[in-house]
Chain A
Amino acid sequence: MDFAIDAELRARLEEAREWGAREVRPAGLESDRMGKPLPPEHPYFARALAHGEGRTRWPGAGVAPRRPPQGAVVASLLIAEELAYWDRGICIANPGPGLPEGAVLAQGTDAQKERFLGPFLAPDKPRWACFAMTEPGAGSDAAAIRTTARKDGGHYVLDGAKCFIGNASRADWILVQAVVDGGKGRDAQRAFFVEHGTPGLGGWKIEKKMGLKAYESTSFTLERCRVPAENLLGGEARKSGAGFGTAMRTFNAGRPIIAANAVGIGRAALDEALAFARERDLLRDARVRDRLELSARKLRAARLLCLRAGWLADHARPNIVEASQCKAVAAQVAQEVTALGMEMLGAVGGRGDHLIEKLYRDAKAMDIVEGTGQIQRVIIARQLVNLPRDAGAA
C-alpha cells in the first residue's frame, strides 16, 4: 500500500493551486455576483486557453495515441479536486471538447475525430463542445430519453428537447443522444454530432440556477434537425446499442470526477470555516471543534474512496461499486460540510455574501449530476444484493 503523491504530481497540484487562486476563484466569484455565466468573450477564457486549457487529448491524424502514464486517473482526480476547490463552476465552463471527448475517442471514426476534435488541437480561440443526454423527462434514467432520429436518405432527422446541457449554446457541436427509427429502450440509442447553426437546432434557454452559475446549463430543442449520416458517432456500420454503452461509459468515468469535485468544494468550505473560527477565537468551543473535526474526517474518507475508484480504473479493474460509492459519499459530505460551515458563520451566513454561502449552493448539484445519490445506491445495490431492475426506482 502506498498513499504518497510523487514529486511530479505534487508540482502539478501546486501549479493548479496557483492558477486556481489567481484566475479560477475570481472568475467564479464574478460570475456568481452577476448571477449568470461568463460570456464566451470574457477575457478569462482567452487566458485559460493561453494557460493550456481547451485542448483535445486526441494526438492528431496518423499520430499514435500516447499510453497514459501510470496513475493517470488518480492524478486527474486530484487535479479535479484542486481546481474545484477554487471554483467548480469554472472547471465546467472551461473551453474544450469536454464531456463527449471520451466517447469520440473511444467510438468515433477517424474522419469524425479529425473533423470534430481537430479544431481543438491548437484552437485559434476558446471553443466548446458538449454532450446532450438529459431531457425534461429523462435525467438519471438515461434509458428513458425520447429524442428521436429518423433516417431520411443520406441524413438523419432529429426531433426532441434536451435540458440542463453544459455549455450548449456556445458549443461548436453537440453530441446528441437519440432513439433511432422508432426503436425502444437502450439498444436503440445512438449519438449524433449536431453542429451549431444547423437549421432546427434552437430554442436556447440558459437556465437560472441556485449555484454553479459560472457555466451555462442550457435547454434547447431539435425540430426536424437534419444532420448528414456521417454525423452518427461511430458510423452506420456500428451496430445499434452502442449508443447507450457510450452514454453509460461517459457516466462511469464521470462519477469519481464529480466525487473529486465535491471533495474540493468541501475542502474550500472547511478552510473558510477554519479561518472564520480562528479569526473569532471559536476553536475553544467543543461544538465548533466537533463540526470541524467531522468535516475534515469525512472529507478525508471521501477523498480516499474517490482515489480508490480511480486507482482501480488505472489498473483496468472493475470499479462500478467504488465509483458509485465515492460519488454517493463525497456529494453527501460536501453538502454536510458546507452546511456545517454555514452554521459556524451564524447570521453572517445569512448575508449571502460569504464564500461558504456560495459553496453551500454549489455543493448541492454534486448529489444530482451524473446520477443522484439515490441512483448510485441503486447501482451499488445491484452489485451487492442483485437488486432487480423492477425494484423501486431501478
Chain B
Amino acid sequence: MFDFDPGDELSLLVETVRGFAAEALAPRLREHEAARDVSQAAREAARQIGLAGLELPEKRGGAGQGALARALVNEELAAADPGAALALDPLGPALYALAECGGDDALRELALPLLAQPGARAVLFCAGDAALRFGGERVSGRAPWVPADRADLVVVLDAAGACAIREGIALAPLRGAGLRAAGASELVLEGAPVAARWSDAAAAARALARARLYVAALLVGTLRNAAEFSRRYALERVAFGRPIAHHQALAFLIVDMHMAVDAARLLLHEAAWRADQGMPFEGEAAAAFADAVEASRLVGPAAVQILGGHGFMQDYPMEKSMREARALGLLCGGLDRARDDAASRLAGPVALSAGEHG
C-alpha cells in the first residue's frame, strides 16, 4: 500500500548524512572546489559513517542497502556539494556495471581493493561519450571529460556489456565546467589492457539505469539546495519596499522551482523503489534522470536569477549550483539518450495504466 515515508531506518540514515554534509562539506565547498578534492578530514568522517560500502552486499563488508537508500544519501550529499559527493565515493556509479555485469567476482577482485585505498576512484563512462577501439585484449580511445583527477579503475559501459581497465590509464587535467571538487580530466587509454569484459545486454541496461538513478539523485540534491537557498535569499533581499519574494513574478518562479524539484524527486524515488523490489525499472530510471536534467535547466539558472548580480558572483554558491547541475546532466550518456531509452519503453501495449504498480 502506498507510503511516501522512507521509514525509520532510512530516515536515520538521511539524518546522519545530512549532519555530515552540513558539517564537513557545505562550509568548505569553495575550498574543495579549489583543491579539486575533499579534505582528509571529510574523507575520514565519510568513511566512519560507512558511505563507501552503502550498497555493497553485507558479505562483502557493505551495508547491503539498495537504490532508494542511495537516492536519499546522494540527495543529502549533493545538497551540500555534488562534486564532493563524487569525490567521496571511491566506486561511484561504476559499482553498478561491476555488480550487474561482473557479479560477485568483479566486486571482490575489482571493487573491494579500491575501498582499501584512501582517495582511490573508479570512473564510469558510457560508450558513446568516447570513441573506443578494441584490439585483441587491449583498448584505446579518449573520453573528453570525466569528473576525476585520479582513476584506479575505469569501467566502460555500452549496450552490449561492460569492461574494466586497471592499467594504461592516463588522465590529463582540465579546468572542468563543474563538479571540480571531484576533479576534471580528459581520460586517455592507449592500448590499455582489458582486465575483464562481460557481455550481457540486460545487465548493462540495468547498470546504466542504476547509474542514472545515482546521478539523478545528485541532481535532485543540487536543485533542492538551489531552490531553497534562493528562496531564503528572496525573503531577505528587499526591493521596491518589500522582500523580492513578495513580488508575484518571483513568488511564482519560486513555486515552480519547488514543484519541479518535487516532481523529479518523486520520479526518482518510485524508480529506485522499483529497482529495490526487483521490478523492471530501466524506463522509469531513464525518465527520472531525464526529468531531473530538465528540472535543472529551470532551477539552476533561475536560482542565479533570483540573486541577480550576486548570483553571478562566486561569493554566493548559486553560480556553482547552476554549473554543476548542468555538468551532472551530461553524465550517463546525457538527456537525449535517456529520453530515447524511456521512449523505447512506450512501445509496449499499455502506457501508464493505473493498476501497473506493484
Contact = CB atoms under 8 A, between A and B. Distances in A.
Interface of A: 1-6, 10, 13-14, 17, 70-71, 74, 78, 81-82, 85, 267, 270-271, 274, 283, 286, 289-290, 292-294, 296-297, 299-305, 307-308, 311-312, 325, 328-329, 374, 377-378, 380-381, 384-388, 391-394
Contact of B6 (A1, A85, A307): A1
Nearest to B341: A293
B231 interface: yes
A301 B270 CA distance: 10
B274 A3 contact: yes
Which applies to chain B's interface (DSSP): helix, strand, loop or mixed?
Answer: helix
Interface stretch (B117-125, B137-145, B204-212, B252-260): B252-260
Nearest to A273: B351
A1 B1 CA distance: 9
B127 to A, nearest CB: 20
A274 B348 CA distance: 10
Nearest to A288: B343
A376 to B, nearest CB: 8
A388 B243 CA distance: 11
A292 B247 CA distance: 36
A311 B4 contact: yes
24 contacts: A1-B4, A1-B269, A3-B270, A3-B273, A4-B358, A14-B355, A74-B2, A271-B352, A274-B351, A290-B339, A292-B346, A296-B287, A296-B352, A300-B287, A301-B264, A303-B352, A304-B263, A308-B266, A311-B3, A325-B259, A381-B252, A381-B255, A385-B254, A386-B246
Contacts of B246: 385-388, 391
Nearest to B277: A4
A256 to B, nearest CB: 13
B357 interface: yes
B263 A301 contact: yes
B245 interface: yes
Contacts of B340: 286, 289, 293
A141 B270 CA distance: 36
B136 interface: no
Given A380-B259, A391-B242, A391-B246, 9 more contacts: A1-B68, A6-B358, A270-B351, A308-B4, A308-B266, A311-B2, A385-B245, A385-B254, A386-B246
Given A300-B287, A385-B254, A293 B339 contact: yes
Interface of B: 1-7, 10, 68, 231, 234-235, 242-243, 245-248, 251-252, 254-256, 258-259, 262-264, 266-267, 269-270, 273-274, 277, 284, 287, 290-291, 339-340, 342-344, 346-347, 350-352, 354-355, 357-358
B133 to A, nearest CB: 28
A312 B4 CA distance: 9
Given A293-B342, A377-B251, A386-B235, A300 B352 contact: yes
A302 B266 CA distance: 9
A5 B343 contact: no
A296 B243 contact: no
A10 B259 contact: no
Contacts of A2: 1-3, 273
A190 to B, nearest CB: 32
Contacts of A274: 346, 351
Contacts of B269: 1, 3
Given A300-B352, A308-B4, A311-B3, A4 B263 contact: no
A381 B250 CA distance: 10
Contacts of B256: 377
A304 B256 CA distance: 16
Nearest to A325: B259
Contacts of A297: 267, 287, 290-291, 342
Contacts of B354: 5, 13, 17, 78, 81-82, 85, 267
Nearest to B295: A301
Nearest to A383: B255
B248 A4 contact: no
A388 B245 CA distance: 10
Contact of B351 (A10, A70, A296, A384): A296
A294 B270 CA distance: 17
A392 B2 contact: no
5 A-B pairs with least C-beta separation? A4-B358, A392-B248, A385-B245, A304-B266, A293-B343
A384 B261 CA distance: 14
B342 A296 contact: yes
A69 to B, nearest CB: 10
A40 B342 CA distance: 45
Contacts of A307: 2, 4
Nearest to A380: B255
A85 B247 CA distance: 38
A270 B245 CA distance: 37
A329 B259 contact: yes
Interface centre among B263, B264, B267, B354 (most CB of A within 10 A): B354
A392 B235 CA distance: 17
Nearest to A374: B252
A97 B168 CA distance: 75
Contacts of B358: 3-6, 10
B254 A299 contact: no
A299 B270 CA distance: 14
A307 to B, nearest CB: 6
A384 B306 CA distance: 15
Contact of B266 (A82, A289, A290, A305): A305
B258 to A, nearest CB: 6
A381 B259 CA distance: 11
B225 to A, nearest CB: 15
A70 B2 CA distance: 10
Contacts of A328: 255, 259
A378 B246 CA distance: 10
A353 to B, nearest CB: 23
B331 to A, nearest CB: 19
A96 B270 CA distance: 36
A71 B1 contact: yes
Contacts of B231: 384-385
Contacts of A1: 3-7, 10, 68, 269, 273
Nearest to A387: B251
Contact of A289 (B277, B343, B355): B343
A51 to B, nearest CB: 19
B256 to A, nearest CB: 8
Find the residue from B2, B10, B277 having the highest chain A CB count within 10 A: B2
A329 B260 CA distance: 9
Contacts of B274: 3
A377 B255 contact: yes
A301 B255 contact: no
Contact of A296 (B258, B259, B346): B346
